[in-house]
Structure 1
């Protein structure tokens, strides 16, 4: 339609050159027939984006597991999987430990590996509230971000009407640490080492000894590891001077409480899990979890990426979830773990996965190694996209491709409503208010239920059509399967919804030791050979994930283009480059080189030896095999590259 919305199901048949309309019944039958013809359910991959509601996600994973596979990769695999792994091990919960009101009670906010001005603009209001209440702020990021140094609140109701005119910008960050790419762990270890030295000199003046002795385990190992870490390595890894780290450490010591926020700038590194656990270590030393104004704040972006994981969208299952799901629906779930996102791409590339079904998202653009993922998706016998608008993945089809257009969250779905979970565990109702773009659109729940019924038939005792007709029944089932959703239908109808249980927020740490665990990992940082540099991907201001709303990036002074490489002026001079020159960038991995060509070199305030380029334009450089240890998150924030002038 005129807004670019898809308004009816479409099919690209084998050998065809264009999509054409297809009836819903035929589309569902086509997918069900292909799924049932597979030699094994594991030959299908069922992807989920963070757009999917709790209700749709719960039924989706139920359908997939009754079909016989745990191949449920999702967008979390590409962003905060490192967070989930790290926090689950350290504190027993892979989620935030704070609520928004904690920002107004804190003494210090550390923002590391995150640019809220571009990636989480609504969060700036919370940061501004913290500053208004007297908090200090430290920004740890390779690039100085305008959103943290000159914040203009666009909402006049927040008490500064002149800010709308840009007349009274607020400075948020009191200290910016321009960390070298890949140097976050070095920064954290440097801060803790300074604090430890102060604690040794004045016992009890820096660390919360009561908290450490009563609520934690592993302190002795961390202390030994910090003592053994050499300052030369910390300085080399972080790219910072000791004086800068001393200033930051003094701010931490002086603060009555501490909140640390992070995002992809931390999670998309080889040592991401250990780095996040050092964030936790820092908090545990100060007793800064489980009290007002103190805690951990991983900032997740998609509207329900956290809720989808709570609903079981994961290639694995917790024992409690598995037991409850099997009891509720009287079937045996697949025992073998499924494929994560990177493993799914490899399986499609190698022909081990033949069907790719995407519940939302823009998989091809969001994934690393663009050439590899495009070839992998096109190698499938069938690809299916449940989307609202065309995207690159829809025009990167398998041999047969279906587009199933769904209702947007803002559109009326009869009398039904759905729900989502925020990054801070707040579960709220989401009910559409606009007329659907077409009478042919169907809800995600309808699509899942009809596909499940057609595929599983008598193999499933689930009344899929009853779920599609009444979402309250879905929530009743969720209540019986997922802990924390007691009285779901009653509580979700209350203004503001409800919060899920958050044991660490209450000072309870459900780890194997029933305590928060210090994790002592050796210092790691990126090391490069002469002539090589480090690259990180970033987003522009006019961008949300893979959706590009405009070609300008006014915060960084970029007009009318995105094929740019930000570089330190001295690095450019050494390479014989000047602003505006076209350059080719090459990345290096065990399986060979990858290239992007004809990008514009832009001088920028970034550490020496570091470069930055926009996502997804720079995705072709990110090797599929370059992932964070234990989380398999692509290392999009730390890639070894070389830059040369284009011929």
Structure 2
């Protein structure tokens, strides 16, 4: 392991060098250079990585370093089939890392688990579909099946999937949204009537200030740095609240800027960088409002105003009750919980007040806490006070993860579908869909663990590695009658089969998708509600792989016959799927025509148009108390040792559960993933030293021991009392019931832990 403070800037030559190394590693250099030139282009494919949108600027490369990693990782020439499992048992593969599993190459043929030999063997597609149909149709109740979805699935695949599942008779749709931005959707729906961000990408060119909460775009969505650097260069104030100091939000060199590359110069991104305690962001915003309220009250005495009173009067309700909450919140509580001083919070408030147009953007550093919904509603309150919704250069911007996670929800991948969506589905397809709410991710794990759910089908993703309480999730899957994983690569979820198990290899975003002798395209929706085409360009050995729509159609036809549609006909021509989408969802009218427009089409946003689809028909001020404590007294009582708050995060060589390598360049760490980032003074106070191996135990009021062992301490610029570790290695510490209020999102950024000297040499596998 190497730890060396990174002195450079984000992007620049380091990003180009990393891109080149991953091109070489793919063993498919010439093709992948061509592929990268088609990434996010008009006649190419949508990056399989993040959901950040694209400006319509011809002649520019439209991939970032981590997007290049994703493309190279997917477009490898290596293949995994039955011959691989002839050499490896499932039990032996469990001892390998996720990096090893995925680096073996693309899944090449459908596989079925043979328990006697502990290996997967080949199976025909038709036999696989019949096995699925047999298990589904023998269930006593459709609600005994769970249908998981990764956010990488296209609109066409997601719509077909939800139609199949609802015709089968359940709303059990645990999906990746449950684990990331569920709180954003719930909070925004309650506050402004729509669970999506209100801004377009062009708004970043007009904002006077951009407030960035709880995210690390340099690693997780690097293309966002292009938007932020342009805003910074024209003079916009960028204010960051993030517990860790992250290089991407400090300074950035644009790899497409000749000046930056030739001179070694970089753009300073953040004007003010605040590092609050984990879970302290709500207190930060409450403090800003408290400062601004005092200024407003003084201004009113002078026949003026700080708040946008016309906007508040015309478009909102609940102001007085909310401001009473602000008045009642003490500075002592705000400072203690946020970890920032009143002076620092006042400085942030001044920067906000000075701007006429403000965008507030956030990611999973905000959404993975117990009080995440309340925090996002607090952010929304701040924007409502100043009318910062519905005008150019202003608004709310949750930054989604996977490139179509927002589109999946639009298509109906939702365990709690709206009555309007179900009514439209019933009208279009002439059947009555189930109305009862289904299971989210946490509820699905609990149902499988209890034996109440017996079939698990995953459309993409790596369920074991993505979910909390890793060992419990493994047990839950193993108790199923059937597990089915539709995937491009081997991952840890495939190694915990039910009584019967299938791995079904699907095409990726980069692959040419031939159906009925014609290349098909799919569509995706980015974080800005833009819907655009994605068409694979890679012509390689995909003979025994199938597209996601074709796999879904095969399962549906075997299970339901031709009801309520001819599934195989739809999968042979995706235009037919899009026609049904257009009939069901009014915002997708004339979809086949509109998607062929350059750049696609905008779905619109009701709140941005001052249409408030809430119960009050106004934008609602929320009125939450601050949490009493990020670590409740009942948790603190479980240990006499010093308690830290831990968050899980990604390394730079990682996207979600996929690890591309062992280089966390911007944090200066390489060669190791079992690490704990910790304040140097905290390390000293515990009597420990840098790179000492420690054990970490999480605290939760049940009888389950949650522990990771043999992790190295790495001194880092993080507030005292806070620590961080990589995901998914630290997921065993996240209790299944440690989840967000209203959202049920795992509280992976608020884990109470104690840290002790290593007691055993053997690490948990």
TM-score, with structure 1 as normaliser = 0.98
How far off its partner does 1:68 sit? 0.8
Deviating more after overlay: 437-446 vs 363-372: 437-446
What is the alpha-carbon distance in structure 1 between the residues aligned to residue 117 and residue 239 of structure 2? 55
Deviating more after overlay: 569-578 vs 616-625: 569-578
1:247-396 equivalence runs, <5 A:
247-396=347-496
CA, structure 1 residues 65+436, in 2 after alignment: closer, same or farther (shift >3 Å)?
A: farther
How far off its partner does 1:205 sit? 3.5
1:522 aligns with 2:625: yes
Q: Is contact 2:530–2:601 with CA below 8 Å preserved after alignment? A: yes
What is the alpha-carbon distance in structure 2 between the residues aligned to residue 436 and residue 53 of structure 1? 21
What is the alpha-carbon distance in structure 2 between the residues aligned to residue 408 and residue 309 of structure 1? 20
How far off its partner does 1:334 sit? 1.2
Instruction: Report the secondary structure of 2:492's partner residue.
Output: coil
How far off its partner does 1:436 sit? 4.3
Q: Is contact 2:155–2:522 with CA below 8 Å preserved after alignment? A: yes
Which residue of structure 1 lines up, in the alignment, with residue 701 of structure 2? 590
1:604-615 equivalence runs, <5 A:
604-615=716-727
Which residue of structure 2 lines up, in the alignment, with residue 54 of structure 1? 155
1:228 aligns with 2:228: no
How far off its partner does 1:153 sit? 1.6
What is the alpha-carbon distance in structure 2 between the residues aligned to residue 364 and residue 164 of structure 1? 41
Q: Is contact 1:586–1:641 with CA below 8 Å preserved after alignment? A: yes
1:467 aligns with 2:579: no
How far off its partner does 1:13 sit? 2.7
Q: Is contact 2:295–2:306 with CA below 8 Å preserved after alignment? A: yes
Instruction: Report the secondary structure of 1:284's partner residue.
Output: helix
- After superposition, give the CA deviation of every residue in 1:591-630 in whole Å (9 maximum; x if it has no partner): 1331000000111111111111011110000000011011
Instruction: Report the secondary structure of 1:584's partner residue.
Output: strand
Deviating more after overlay: 443-452 vs 502-511: 502-511
What is the alpha-carbon distance in structure 2 between the residues aligned to residue 483 and residue 542 of structure 1? 40
Which residue of structure 2 lines up, in the alignment, with residue 562 of structure 1? 673
Q: Give the counterpart of 2:612 among 506, 509, 525.
A: 509
1:171 aligns with 2:268: yes
Which residue of structure 2 lines up, in the alignment, with residue 603 of structure 1? 715
What is the alpha-carbon distance in structure 1 between the residues aligned to residue 752 and residue 132 of structure 2? 41
Which residue of structure 1 lines up, in the alignment, with residue 652 of structure 2? 541
Q: Is contact 2:482–2:501 with CA below 8 Å preserved after alignment? A: yes
How far off its partner does 1:518 sit? 0.5
Q: Give the counterpart of 1:197 among 278, 294, 301.
A: 294
Q: Is contact 1:82–1:272 with CA below 8 Å preserved after alignment? A: yes
What is the alpha-carbon distance in structure 1 between the residues aligned to residue 161 and residue 541 of structure 2? 24
Instruction: Report the secondary structure of 1:275's partner residue.
Output: helix
Q: Is contact 1:291–1:507 with CA below 8 Å preserved after alignment? A: no
What is the alpha-carbon distance in structure 1 between the residues aligned to residue 374 and residue 700 of structure 2? 22
Which residue of structure 2 lines up, in the alignment, with residue 531 of structure 1? 642
RMSD value over aligned CA atoms? 1.2
What is the alpha-carbon distance in structure 2 between the residues aligned to residue 24 and residue 435 of structure 1? 22
Q: Is contact 1:379–1:398 with CA below 8 Å preserved after alignment? A: yes
- After superposition, give the CA deviation of every residue in 1:421-456 in whole Å (9 maximum; x if it has no partner): 111100001111111432111111111111101101
Deviating more after overlay: 430-439 vs 550-559: 430-439
What is the alpha-carbon distance in structure 2 between the residues aligned to residue 252 and residue 95 of structure 1? 23
- After superposition, give the CA deviation of every residue in 1:390-437 in whole Å (9 maximum; x if it has no partner): 111112211211111011111111221110111110000111111143
How far off its partner does 1:139 sit? 0.7
Instruction: Report the secondary structure of 1:224's partner residue.
Output: helix
Q: Is contact 2:146–2:173 with CA below 8 Å preserved after alignment? A: yes
What is the alpha-carbon distance in structure 2 between the residues aligned to residue 491 and residue 392 of structure 1? 40
Q: Give the counterpart of 1:2 among 58, 78, 82.
A: 78
What is the alpha-carbon distance in structure 2 between the residues aligned to residue 370 and residue 488 of structure 1? 41
How far off its partner does 1:155 sit? 1.9
What is the alpha-carbon distance in structure 2 between the residues aligned to residue 583 and residue 32 of structure 1? 48
1:491 aligns with 2:591: no
Which residue of structure 2 lines up, in the alignment, with residue 119 of structure 1? 220
- After superposition, give the CA deviation of every residue in 1:253-292 in whole Å (9 maximum; x if it has no partner): 0011110110110000000000000010010011100001
Instruction: Report the secondary structure of 1:573's partner residue.
Output: helix
Instruction: Report the secondary structure of 1:259's partner residue.
Output: strand
What is the alpha-carbon distance in structure 2 between the residues aligned to residue 597 and residue 526 of structure 1? 25
Q: Is contact 1:107–1:255 with CA below 8 Å preserved after alignment? A: yes
Q: Is contact 1:152–1:166 with CA below 8 Å preserved after alignment? A: no
Q: Is contact 2:521–2:533 with CA below 8 Å preserved after alignment? A: yes
1:95-174 equivalence runs, <5 A:
95-156=196-257, 161-164=258-261, 167-174=264-271
Q: Is contact 1:315–1:338 with CA below 8 Å preserved after alignment? A: yes
Instruction: Report the secondary structure of 2:502's partner residue.
Output: strand
Q: Is contact 2:462–2:657 with CA below 8 Å preserved after alignment? A: yes
TM-score, with structure 2 as normaliser = 0.83
Q: Is contact 2:570–2:576 with CA below 8 Å preserved after alignment? A: yes
What is the alpha-carbon distance in structure 2 between the residues aligned to residue 429 and residue 305 of structure 1? 15
What is the alpha-carbon distance in structure 1 between the residues aligned to residue 610 and residue 261 of structure 2? 41
- Contiguous gaps of at least 5 residues in structure 1: none
Which residue of structure 1 lines up, in the alignment, with residue 4 of structure 2? none
How far off its partner does 1:166 sit? 7.7
Which residue of structure 2 lines up, in the alignment, with residue 428 of structure 1? 532
1:619-638 equivalence runs, <5 A:
619-638=731-750
1:439 aligns with 2:543: yes
What is the alpha-carbon distance in structure 2 between the residues aligned to residue 52 and residue 132 of structure 1? 36
1:33-48 equivalence runs, <5 A:
33-48=134-149
Equivalenced residue count is 642
What is the alpha-carbon distance in structure 2 between the residues aligned to residue 297 and residue 461 of structure 1? 38
Q: Is contact 1:105–1:133 with CA below 8 Å preserved after alignment? A: no
How far off its partner does 1:164 sit? 3.2
What is the alpha-carbon distance in structure 2 between the residues aligned to residue 557 and residue 461 of structure 1? 55
Q: Segments of 4+ in structure 1 off by > 3 A?
A: 527-530
Q: Is contact 2:422–2:435 with CA below 8 Å preserved after alignment? A: no
Instruction: Report the secondary structure of 1:555's partner residue.
Output: helix
Q: Is contact 2:232–2:267 with CA below 8 Å preserved after alignment? A: no
What is the alpha-carbon distance in structure 2 between the residues aligned to residue 9 and residue 353 of structure 1? 24
- After superposition, give the CA deviation of every residue in 1:198-253 in whole Å (9 maximum; x if it has no partner): 00011244211110111111101111000000110000000111110011000000
What is the alpha-carbon distance in structure 1 between the residues aligned to residue 387 and residue 274 of structure 2? 24
How far off its partner does 1:506 sit? 1.8
What is the alpha-carbon distance in structure 1 between the residues aligned to residue 203 and residue 433 of structure 2? 40
Deviating more after overlay: 25-34 vs 433-442: 433-442
What is the alpha-carbon distance in structure 1 between the residues aligned to residue 260 and residue 169 of structure 2? 56
What is the alpha-carbon distance in structure 2 between the residues aligned to residue 526 and residue 450 of structure 1? 48
Instruction: Report the secondary structure of 1:15's partner residue.
Output: coil
How far off its partner does 1:550 sit? 1.2
